[in-house]
């Protein structure tokens, strides 16, 4: 399939979005930017169109999609009824990086909801996303525009790398502002539950709702079955083995990285302060996200993909505290690392025994 590429910087008369939206209306799948990550969109009320998304991504069919709308009132035809919590959230945080799970109406195809009796709905704030939905004149089902299992794309070049030849088109609207996916809140129960942390923080939600719970599966509780089916899949994974390093252990990271790089190419994902304390040596790639959690959120997925390109054997990633956007970022980082963490004592032991370090790096 020929994949059309529209660059909005060179599109002066708005033809690009009209063409892209026309393809969606015709039942094709087209990628476009949102404030969180790039989405792969199709007509959310057309089951056959929605199936093209699953095919292009290689996405398991039991993983439901989010419907994107351009006006708050458009949720009313997708749901059999909103709870008070849902109304408050919509009023307060839309348009923006917040998805609400609501009871679905009969017009939502099974392909979208994966057979559940609920549906996920979001009104994005990105002007390109909003205009695409408005022009298409239908809710757009749109998961992240990556091959399933890879980090979500936050720029159009990354979408192209994954999706060229697999979808009808890509709208290039620059780099996404938030960099991690939307927060998903289940509003159908007594107490609102965060199923996936994201662009709207837990603190922001609590400020308007009072008590908000976290789905136990987010804490890595093995027995807990995630209520957002997609959260069970191994997402965001780079090819190399990855470890989170945080707190006290961070002080030992520069030496560990330097020693490990003697055996194989190693990458360190870290903020400016840690980056400055690292010695530049051969085989050591320092990916510096800058100064705060917001910068890390914007860059994390691109850095994970960069590690794949560099062909490193091992990745050490600096962890941040889990307040604000830190909760979403650490959820993605820990998943990428398969929940592997290195403690200060473990680093100490590796530094004391060179053959142990070698087998740790090359395993």
Site residues (vs Mg ion, CB under 5 A): 143-144
Among 27, 60, 174, 229, binds ligand AMP (CB under 6 A): 229
Compute the distance between CA of residue 69 and CA of residue 34 in angstroms, rounded to an integer. 12
- The secondary structure element, H or E, covering residue 284 is strand 284-288
Q: How far apart are CA 263 and CA 242, in angstroms?
A: 16
The pairing of strands 183-186 and 98-104 is: parallel
Q: Which is nearer to ligand AMP, 196 or 299 (CB)?
A: 196
- Residues 181-200: x/- map of binding to ligand AMP (CB under 6 A)? x--x----------xx----
Rule CB under 6 A: is residue 60 a binding residue for ligand AMP? no
Question: Which residue number, 181 or 318, has a Cβ lying nearer to ligand AMP?
Answer: 181
Shortest Cβ distance from residue 235 to ligand AMP (Å)?
8
How near is the Cβ of 37 to Mg ion at its closest, in Å? 8
Q: Is 329 left (phi over 0), alpha (psi -120 to 50) or beta?
A: alpha
Which structure tokens are listed for 225?
């079955």
Q: Beta-carbon neighbour count of residue 264 at 10 Å? A: 15
Q: Which does 173 bind (CB under 5 to 8 A by kind): ligand AMP, Mg ion, none?
A: none
Stretch that binds ligand AMP, among 80-88, 118-126, 128-136, 300-308 (CB under 6 A): 118-126
| CB-nearest residue to ligand AMP | 230
Among ligand AMP, Mg ion, none, residue 294 binds (CB under 5-8 Å by kind): none
40 sits near ligand AMP (criterion: CB under 6 A): no
Q: Which residues lie across from 68 on neighbouring strands?
A: 122, 140
Select from Mg ion, ligand AMP, none the partner in contact with residue 325, using the beta carbon and a kind-dependent cut-off of 5 to 8 Å.
none
Q: What is each CA distance from 2 to 28, 155, 163, 164, 282, in whole angstroms?
A: 12, 20, 11, 8, 41
Stretch that binds ligand AMP, among 18-26, 222-230, 248-256, 306-314 (CB under 6 A): 222-230
Look at the block and give the residue holding tokens 């192209």: 160
Q: How far is the CB of 310 from ligand AMP (least distance, A)?
A: 26
* Nearest distance from C-beta of residue 67 to ligand AMP, angstroms: 9
Binding site partner of 118, from ligand AMP, Mg ion, none, Cβ cut-off 5-8 A by kind: ligand AMP
Place of tokens 């030849």: 165
- Say how many C-beta atoms besides its own lie within 10 A of residue 121's C-beta: 26
Quote the least distance from Cβ 144 to Mg ion, whole Å.
3
CA distances for 47 relative to 140, 141, 253, angstroms: 12, 10, 50
Give the whole-angstrom CA distance, residue 321 versus residue 70.
Answer: 34
Q: Which residues are near ligand AMP by CB under 6 A?
A: 63-66, 101, 113, 116, 118-120, 143-144, 181, 184, 195-196, 227-231
């Amino acid at each position: 399939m020929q994949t059309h590429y529209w660059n909005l910087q060179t599109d002066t008369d708005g033809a690009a979005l009209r063409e892209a939206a026309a393809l969606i209306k015709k039942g094709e799948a087209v990628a476009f930017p949102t404030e969180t990550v790039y989405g792969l969109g199709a007509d959310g009320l057309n089951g056959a169109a929605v199936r093209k998304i699953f095919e292009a991504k290689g996405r398991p069919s039991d993983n439901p999609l989010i419907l994107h709308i351009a006006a708050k009132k458009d949720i009313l035809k997708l749901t059999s009824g909103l709870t008070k919590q849902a109304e408050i959230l919509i009023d307060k945080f839309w348009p923006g990086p917040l998805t609400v799970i609501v009871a679905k109406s009969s017009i939502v195809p099974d392909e979208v909801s994966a057979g559940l009796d609920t549906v996920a709905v979001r009104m994005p704030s990105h002007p390109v996303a909003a205009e695409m939905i408005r022009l298409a004149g239908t809710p757009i089902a749109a998961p992240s525009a990556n091959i399933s299992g890879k980090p979500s794309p936050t720029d159009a070049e990354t979408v192209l790398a994954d999706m060229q030849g697999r979808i009808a088109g890509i709208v290039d609207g620059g780099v996404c502002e938030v960099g991690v996916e939307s927060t998903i809140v289940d509003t159908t129960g007594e107490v609102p539950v965060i199923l996936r942390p994201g662009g709207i923080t837990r603190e922001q939600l609590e400020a308007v709702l009072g008590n908000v719970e976290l789905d136990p599966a987010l804490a890595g509780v093995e027995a807990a079955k995630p209520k957002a089916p997609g959260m069970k899949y191994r997402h965001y994974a780079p090819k190399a083995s990855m470890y989170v390093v945080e707190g006290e252990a961070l002080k030992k990271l520069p030496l560990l990285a330097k020693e490990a790089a003697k055996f194989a190419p190693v990458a360190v994902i870290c903020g400016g302060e840690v980056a400055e304390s690292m010695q530049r040596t051969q085989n050591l790639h320092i990916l510096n996200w800058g100064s705060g959690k917001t910068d890390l959120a914007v860059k994390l997925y691109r850095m994970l993909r960069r590690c794949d390109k560099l062909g490193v054997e091992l990745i050490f990633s600096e962890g941040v505290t889990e307040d604000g956007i830190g909760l979403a970022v650490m959820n993605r980082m820990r998943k990428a690392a398969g929940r592997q963490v290195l403690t200060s004592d473990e680093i100490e032991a590796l530094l004391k025994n060179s053959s142990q370090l070698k087998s740790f790096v090359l395993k």
